[in-house]
Amino acid sequence: MKYALFLGCKIPSGLPAYATSTRAVLGHLGIELVDLEFQCCGYPARNYDRDAFVVAAIRNLALAECHALDVLTPCMCCFGTLRQAIRMMTEDAALRARVSRSLADDGLVWSGRATVQHVLPLLAREVGVDALKTAVRAPRTDLRLAAQYGCHALRPSDVTGIDNPVAPTIFETLIRAAGATPVDWPRRLDCCGDPSHESNAPLSGRMTRAKIVDAQEAGADAICTACPHCHLRFDAAQAAESAPAMPTLLVTQLLGVAMGLPAQSLGLPHAEDQRADAFP
Amino acid sequence: MSPGLFQTLLVASLALCALGIAWRVAAWFRIRIGPDARSVTAWQRVRGVLATVAASLSGWRGPRVLGAFCLDALLLRRLFANAPWRALAHLFVVTGFTLLVLTHALAPFVTARLVPGYQPTLEPWLFVRNLLGAMVLGGLVVLVVARWRARSRMGLPHRPRAALFATLLGIVLATGFLLEAHKIASPRAFHRMTDAFAGAADPTALASLRALWAREYGVAFDVRTDVVAADVTAAGRRLHEEACATCHAKPASAFVSWPLAKLMAPVAGTLDAVSADAWLLHLHVLACFAGLALLPFTTFLHVLAAPFSLLLDAVARHGAAPARPLPLAARATRRALSVDACVRCGMCDLDCSVATLARHLDNRYLLPSHKLVATREAASPRLRQAMRRDARALADARRAADGAFLCTDCGRCTRHCPVGLDLAELWDAGRDDLEAAGLPAAATWVRERPAIAWAESLANVGDRAVLAVVDASRAPLACDRRTFSRCVQCQTCTNVCPVVAHAMDADPRSAADPGVDLTPQKVMNLLRLGLPDLALGSRMVWDCATCYQCQEQCPEGIRVADIMCELRALSVRRLAAVRDVAEQS
């Protein structure tokens, strides 16, 4: 399997551990990742100018198409955005014509051949639970984790289609494959609050806090994430606390640790610091 | 040029250069970018920077900091990683120019003291001077071409003063080579020298000497006026050894000037007649002085600012483990320094995550090189005055704000900057300045007045051309009745909305977060009633987290969240058109 890795903007600047751990885990599983000259997925422009948003998104897919690759992203928001752009291109012929003209300036063509995939369904379906269980050397049976799906992975389901939008199981399956126990938390499908942060920080803070409290009450050791926006929002909400009530753990870090990959390649502190620091 | 005039001009240009540098360097500590920079004085900044740098250099990580600085500032490590050809050209220019200044311009003070019997017309200086000059000229040509290509490709800002400075540098080099070539070929120069050093020589020996110099030293005698022997005799050669050889080597090793002299040979007499040597020398010296005086007022000030920036960068990245942010005094200085250290090389623009958006939105302020200049302007109180007076300045400042707030903070510009600017930190500070200047993000300024006030403004402006047509291509769902007319007002969207749910805990008296004004279901109803303007400025539209619960759960399959996104894009455009009208009323 070979994919063009679309890291987006948030991961390289705010959460480089997600990039390194994704590369480490997927590399270990024999998936080849290629880096292309991608730009922003278009997400911030959606509130500003629809055409600019779609051009920005589709340019990335046209670039992947140019290299005959499908796109894989670890970011839920990039995933949702790129898929939304495909939907808009498919259902609006006038838009498609305008965007194609704009892409032609760069010598790019979009025909819809490049698909967009997220790390979660890739691991759960394409790699498969059996292959993962074989790769796991040190199952983390000690961990109880709250799976944070991320809105843009699940909804709108006719665009994202990674799992059942009201009763998804894909993330819990991965947590079990790593030997850990997923907790049942009522707010698991709720929004982390990040998209509202710029326009209304107090509201966003309440949304984040409610999820943290919920995960705590469900007895989770950490919230397991698969999106940099959710992950960093949880961290930011607890930044002022000396010991965060609810640590965050990336799904790729969890699997990497269970596979026995070196802590440094997962962006985790060295093994001896793990208990005390980021790793729960 | 008389020595008096030479000295006067030299002192004047040196003084201008020194004053200019002092003025520009003072600005690094005086200019305040970011509201937090106002809490430290210029003097505190000077002391803070010195203390930070001294502490990190003297600590046990000092060698690492110094090593990183040397690699970045002297060997241009970052530039080599991004553009090896430009880096090589840059190294050629810097090395060549520095060595030319030392060995050639300051020859009486440096070379003559270090090398006994120094003569500029002896080896290795003939060759070295040409080598250094060719390095500078070649590097300069590569850099100018790279700059020109980058400019036409990315529309980088034009800098006439920098272009003037580069032209002056080109003039200095060109006149240097031409002057040397002219002196090689010039019969008059030959006569001047033989009059001084071989005045009493036998005429036949002199004729023979001329033959030798015509053959081996490239002097282009005019046979109508000068007697040039057919052969070089022993007497001529002896005369050469006695009078010339101690100071003159064969100029063939001057690999630029020598072929130039050959080219100029046919006109050597004419050039003598018009005193070309004096003209060229004047031009050479005046261009040097003009360049010196102009230096602090161009982007070539980066010769000081860039190493300073790279030093602070080395301190920030290697001064502590794990790396921690610099103290505010140093950060504030680094921000102010950015505009002077930036050479507008455009590498940040080339790899900018929102470059496609910048082009499509036709807003250059999304690109780091333009945003950098706008950030410094936004920090200045002059911008606020200009905004009040001049509608165009206001529109421009708002575009700059659009650019600043659409930036995704991906940090690529910072990672690629060859002069080590912390652009990510600068953008953060710049956005705070924009907010303080009344230029916040759309999500903020839309919320400054209630939805009903916006709707009234839109109604008052009525059917002005800008508002006459809702652009259906920008918001196809919100403008198409078929998408929302099925709504039965069942309130499912409202019931599953996290914004509505969490608004229960909002404080109605708070300005930032007074709770929800319209629920999603009411927004849909306004669309059904054909009153979209009433929804455009609503907090619901702008608070929406786009979690898509409403859309997923809608029993009628209405794309509620998608419509919310479209309403925002619509409101940015429509409310912006009545923003000033609303503020005046």
* Min distance A257 CA to chain B CA atoms (Å): 23
The H-or-E segment that residue B209 falls in is: helix B203-216
> If contacts are CB pairs under 8 Å, which of residues 76-115 in chain A contact chain B?
84, 92, 94-95, 102
The H-or-E segment that residue A117 falls in is: strand A116-118
Which whole-number Å values give the CA distances from B322 to A83, A139, B552, in the listed order? 38, 30, 45
pLDDT of residue A72: 98
* Min distance A9 CA to chain B CA atoms (Å): 4
Residue in B175, B103, B111, B108 with CA at minimum distance from that of residue B132: B103
CA distance B382 to B557: 52
User: Given an 8 Å threshold on Cβ–Cβ distance, is A42 in contact with B357?
Assistant: yes
Q: Which of A10, A40, A47 to mutate to test the interface with B (most CBs of B within 10 A)?
A: A47
Q: Which residues of chain B does A42 touch, with a Cβ-Cβ cutoff of 8 Å? A: 357
Q: What average pLDDT is seen over chain A?
A: 94
- Chain A CB within 8 Å of residue B513 CB: yes
| Confidence bin at B577 (pLDDT 50/70/90) | confident
Sorted by sequence, the CB contacts under 8 Å of residue B169 that are 6+ apart come out as B97, B136, B140, B287, B291
For B153-189, the DSSP string reads HH-PPP-HHHHHHHHHHHHHHHHHHHHHHHHHH-HHH
- Chain B CB within 8 Å of residue A230 CB: no
pLDDT of residue B139: 97
* Min distance A226 CA to chain B CA atoms (Å): 16
Q: Rounded to the nearest 5°, which phi and psi values hold at A49?
A: -160, 115
CA distance A236 to A228: 12
Q: What is the model's pTM? A: 0.91
Q: In what order do the strands lie in the sheet with A116-118?
A: A32-34, A2-5, A70-73, A116-118
Specify the pairing of strand A181-182 against strand A2-5. Answer: unpaired
The pLDDT tens digits for B538-565 are 999 999 999 999 999 999 999 999 999 9
Find residue B361's DSSP bridge partners. none
Look at residue B100 and tell me whether its pLDDT is greater than 90. yes
Q: What angle do CA A73, B363, A98 make, to 5 degrees?
A: 65
CB-closest option in A12, A48, A151 to B548: A151
pLDDT of residue B346: 86
Q: Which residues of chain A does B496 touch, with a Cβ-Cβ cutoff of 8 Å? A: none
User: Given an 8 Å threshold on Cβ–Cβ distance, is B547 in contact with A191?
Assistant: yes
**Is there a shared CATH topology between the A2-117 domain and the A128-266 domain?**
no
| A162, A166, A171, A177 alpha-carbon torsion, rounded to 10° | -110
Q: What is the residue extent of each domain of chain B?
A: 450-584
Contact status, residue B117 vs residue B178, Cβ threshold 8 Å: no
Look at residue B395 and tell me whether its pLDDT is greater than 60. yes
Q: What average pLDDT is seen over chain B?
A: 91
CB-closest option in B409, B512, B545 to A191: B545
Look at residue B413 and tell me whether its pLDDT is greater than 90. yes
CA distance B357 to B366: 8
Contact status, residue A215 vs residue A230, Cβ threshold 8 Å: no
Q: Which of B410, B412, B554 to mutate to test the interface with A (most CBs of A within 10 A)?
A: B410
Q: Which residue of A has its CA nearest to B516?
A: A203
Q: Of residues B108 and B152, which shows the higher confidence score?
A: B108
Residues in chain A, pLDDT under 70: 270-280
A223: three-class secondary structure by DSSP: strand
CA distance A114 to A123: 19
User: Given an 8 Å threshold on Cβ–Cβ distance, is B548 in contact with A156?
Assistant: yes
User: Given an 8 Å threshold on Cβ–Cβ distance, is B361 in contact with A48?
Assistant: yes
| Confidence bin at B467 (pLDDT 50/70/90) | very low
| Confidence bin at B479 (pLDDT 50/70/90) | confident
For B366-386, the DSSP string reads GSHHHHHHHHHHHTSHHHHHH
CATH number 3.20.20.140 is the correct assignment for the domain at A128-266 = no
CA distance B61 to B320: 7
Q: Which residue of A has its CA nearest to B559?
A: A156
The pLDDT tens digits for B207-264 are 999 999 999 999 999 888 888 888 888 889 999 998 899 999 999 999 999 999 999 9
Q: What is the residue extent of each domain of chain A?
A: 2-117, 128-266
Average pLDDT over residues B325-332: 95
| B112, B113, B116, B120 alpha-carbon torsion, rounded to 10° | -10
User: Given an 8 Å threshold on Cβ–Cβ distance, is A196 in contact with B410?
Assistant: no
The H-or-E segment that residue B119 falls in is: none
The pLDDT tens digits for A234-262 are 999 999 888 888 999 999 999 999 999 99
Q: Which residues of chain A does B441 touch, with a Cβ-Cβ cutoff of 8 Å? A: 198
CA distance A238 to B430: 26
Q: Which residue of A has its CA nearest to B405?
A: A44
Amino acid letter for position A98: R
User: Given an 8 Å threshold on Cβ–Cβ distance, is B361 in contact with A52?
Assistant: yes
CA distance B70 to B77: 9
ipTM score of complex = 0.95
Q: Which residue has the tokens 């977060």?
A: B513
CA distance B546 to B543: 9
Q: Which residues of chain B does A49 touch, with a Cβ-Cβ cutoff of 8 Å? A: 360-361, 474, 569, 572
User: Given an 8 Å threshold on Cβ–Cβ distance, is A195 in contact with B513?
Assistant: no
Sorted by sequence, the CB contacts under 8 Å of residue A143 that are 6+ apart come out as A179, A180, A181, A221, A222, A254, A280
> If contacts are CB pairs under 8 Å, which of residues 288-347 in chain B contact chain A?
none
pLDDT of residue A271: 52
Mapping DSSP onto H, E and C, the string for B307-340 reads HHHHHHHHHHHHCCCCCCCCCHHHHHHHHHHHHH
Q: Is A195 exposed, middle or buried (0-12, 13-18, 19+ CB in 10 A)?
A: buried
pLDDT of residue A275: 42
Q: In what order do the strands lie in the sheet with A144-148?
A: A181-182, A144-148, A222-225, A248-250
Amino acid letter for position A195: P
Q: Of residues B469 and B147, which shows the higher confidence score?
A: B147
SS3 of chain B: helix, strand, coil, percent, to 5:
70, 0, 30
The pLDDT tens digits for B340-385 are 999 888 889 989 999 999 999 999 999 999 999 999 988 888 888 8
CA distance B360 to A91: 21
Q: What angle do CA B96, B99, B104 make, to 5 degrees?
A: 115
The pLDDT tens digits for A120-159 are 999 999 999 999 999 999 999 999 999 999 999 899 999 9
CA distance A129 to A124: 6
* Min distance B413 CA to chain A CA atoms (Å): 11
Instruction: Give the A:B interface size as CB pairs under 8 Å.
Output: 154
User: Given an 8 Å threshold on Cβ–Cβ distance, is B513 in contact with A196?
Assistant: no
**Residue B3, preceding peptide bond in cis (omega within 30° of 0):** no
Fold type of domain A2-117: Glutathione S-transferase Yfyf (Class Pi); Chain A, domain 2 (1.20.1050)
Q: Which of B414, B502, B556 to mutate to test the interface with A (most CBs of A within 10 A)?
A: B502
User: Given an 8 Å threshold on Cβ–Cβ distance, is B412 in contact with A44?
Assistant: no
Q: Is A97 exposed, middle or buried (0-12, 13-18, 19+ CB in 10 A)?
A: exposed
User: Given an 8 Å threshold on Cβ–Cβ distance, is B442 in contact with A95?
Assistant: no
Amino acid letter for position A157: S
Sorted by sequence, the CB contacts under 8 Å of residue B279 that are 6+ apart come out as none
pLDDT of residue B506: 85
| B360, B362, B368, B373 alpha-carbon torsion, rounded to 10° | -170
User: Given an 8 Å threshold on Cβ–Cβ distance, is B572 in contact with A95?
Assistant: no
Contact status, residue A63 vs residue A108, Cβ threshold 8 Å: yes
Which whole-number Å values give the CA distances from A116 to A64, A159, B247, B355, in the listed order? 10, 11, 75, 22
State the angle between helix axes of B368-378 and B328-341 in degrees (0 to 180), rounded to the nearest 10: 120
Fold type of domain B450-584: Fumarate Reductase Iron-sulfur Protein; Chain B, domain 2 (1.10.1060)
- Chain A CB within 8 Å of residue B555 CB: no
| Confidence bin at B425 (pLDDT 50/70/90) | very high
* Min distance B179 CA to chain A CA atoms (Å): 48
Residue spans of alpha helices (H) in B465-537: 465-468, 481-484, 492-496, 498-503, 520-528, 533-536
User: Given an 8 Å threshold on Cβ–Cβ distance, is B572 in contact with A48?
Assistant: yes
- Chain A CB within 8 Å of residue B432 CB: no
Q: Rounded to the nearest 5°, which phi and psi values hold at A182?
A: -75, 135
CB-closest option in A55, A206, A210 to B360: A55
CA distance B76 to B352: 21
- Chain A CB within 8 Å of residue B576 CB: no
B389: three-class secondary structure by DSSP: helix
| Confidence bin at B580 (pLDDT 50/70/90) | confident
Question: What are the tokens at A125?
Answer: 């379906």
Which whole-number Å values give the CA distances from B44 to B29, B333, B381, B508, in the listed order? 9, 10, 22, 43
